Amino acid sequence: SALTITINPMEKHEQPQAAEE
């Protein structure tokens, strides 16, 4: 079956260090 990807547009504004555990 087809694989669909939906990227979070917030991703580019988010510092990886600030991500939660």
Partner 1 sequence: FVDVPGPCEPEDLIDGIIFAANYLGSTQLLSERNPSKNIRMMQAQEAVSRVKNTDGDAQTLTEVDLFISTQRIKVLNADSQETMMDNALRTISYIADIGNIVVLMARRRMPRTASQDCIETTPGAPEAKKQYKMICHVFESEDAQLIAQSIGQAFSVAYQEFLRANGINPEDLSQKEYSDIINTQEMYNDDLIHFSNSENCKELQLEKSKGEILGVVIVESGWGSILPTVILANMMNGGPAARSGKLSIGDQIMSINNTSLVGLPLATCQGIIKGLKNQVQVKMNIVSCPPVTTVLIKRPDLKYQLGFSVQNGIICSLMRGGIAERGGVRVGHRIIEINGQSVVATAHEKIVQALSNSVGEIHMKTMPAAMFRLLTGQETPMYI
Minimum distance, C-beta of residue 19 to partner 1, in the bound complex (Å): 4
Span 2-21, contacts to partner 1 by CB under 8 A: 2-21
Minimum distance, C-beta of residue 18 to partner 1, in the bound complex (Å): 8
Minimum distance, C-beta of residue 2 to partner 1, in the bound complex (Å): 7
CA angle 4, 5, 7 (to 5 degrees): 155
Question: What Å distances lie between residue 14 and 3, 5, 19, CA to CA?
Answer: 25, 19, 8
The residue ranges that bind partner 1 (CB under 8 A) are 1-21
